Amino acid sequence: MKLTFWGVRGSIPVPEINKMKVGGNTSCVEVDLGISTRLILDAGTGIRPLGAKIAKEIAEGKVNEVIILLSHYHWDHIQGFPFFNPIFNPKFKIYIFGPAKANRKLEGLLSGQMEYDYWPVKFSQLPVNIDFYELNEGSHLFKTGLRVIAKRHIHPGTALGYRIEFGGKSFVYCTDTEHFQNQVDKRVVELSSDTGLLIHDAQYTDTEIEFRLGWGHSTWRQAVEVAKQASVKRLVLFHMDPERTDEEALGIEAEAKKEHSGVILAKEGMTIEV
Ligand SMILES: [Zn+2]
Ligand SMILES: [Zn+2]
């Protein structure tokens, strides 16, 4: 599996000159499975440039369908969707998976941000063919042979972490997750156990989180602790705070590497083979 990071920023896009090495787009990771089905994790603003690339690949016959797996429905994970080029292609097929919620349907959660008062193109006007699937915790086998293991973690309004398994390899995507003050969430450790790569929320520093308890995010140190407890060799620090400058983020990466040699700071445009 080849992973490309199109958006690594948390909360809101930050098109600012001192943040460009990390990147300003919100969460979106492309997973090339080496088949004509492409997997996309989250639809933050990074999905816009990814959509332009996939549109070309559709024209070249390299991609014939896309699976979008949403961790949850906060804006920084869905707001790129109205700009995802393939939604204007009537011959294209998109499968969207996201956490099941008791009070709202997945389709309504996505179409809500495209109501006419907010955006001129209504969801119902999109020509693309979309199927929606609401996920609960557990193991899900997709028709491509892709296995997705979903587990809930701590985040306002609920969110799922995903373990992706394909072709004998695996990685975990666990963003927007909060831990307990004195210990990391065992569910996240269990999901990540012995996986090849862990992409984990690293929004805050130890000092910052003291004032942001209950906001649903982790420190980079908690991400490192999960990686250690789960025996994960490569850890990607993801979902950086919008205020974090490149200099600060690179400082965090250097500091975290002292604790775990496999630490990699997520940067827009970065690719990793799993
Ligand atoms: Zn987020
Ligand atoms: Zn969130």
Query: How far is ligand 2, taken at its centre, from the CA of residue 274, in Å?
Result: 25
| Ligand nearest the Cα atom of residue 156 | 2
What average pLDDT does the segment 34-42 reach? Answer: 98
pLDDT of res. 143: 86
**Checking DSSP bridges between strand 169-174 and strand 197-201, what pairing results, if any?**
parallel
Instruction: Please answer whether residues 177 and 153 qualify as being in contact, where contact means their C-beta atoms are separated by less than 8 angstroms.
Output: yes
Query: How far is ligand 2, taken at its centre, from the CA of residue 215, in Å?
Result: 8
What average pLDDT does the segment 199-218 reach? Answer: 97
46-90 pLDDT per residue, tens: 999 999 999 999 999 999 999 999 999 999 999 999 999 999 999
140-191 pLDDT per residue, tens: 999 899 999 999 999 999 999 999 999 999 999 999 999 999 999 999 999 9
pLDDT of res. 231: 98
3-state DSSP of 173-223: EECCCECCCCCCCHHHHHHHCCCCEEEEECCECHHHHCCCCCCCCCEHHHH
| Ligand nearest the Cα atom of residue 27 | 1
CA-CA distance, 227 to 195, in Å (whole number)?
9
| Ligand nearest the Cα atom of residue 158 | 2
User: What is the signed CA dihedral for 112, 114, 119, 124, rounded to 10 degrees?
Assistant: -130
* DSSP structure class, residue 54: H
Closest CA to 35 of 68, 5, 66: 66
Pair of tokens at residue 161: 């972490």
Residues with CB under 5 A from ligand 1 (ion): 10, 76, 176
Q: What is the architecture of the domain spanning 2-273? A: 4-Layer Sandwich (3.60)
- The string of DSSP codes covering 86-110 is GGG-TT-EEEEEEE--SS--HHHHH
CA-CA distance, 28 to 238, in Å (whole number)?
11
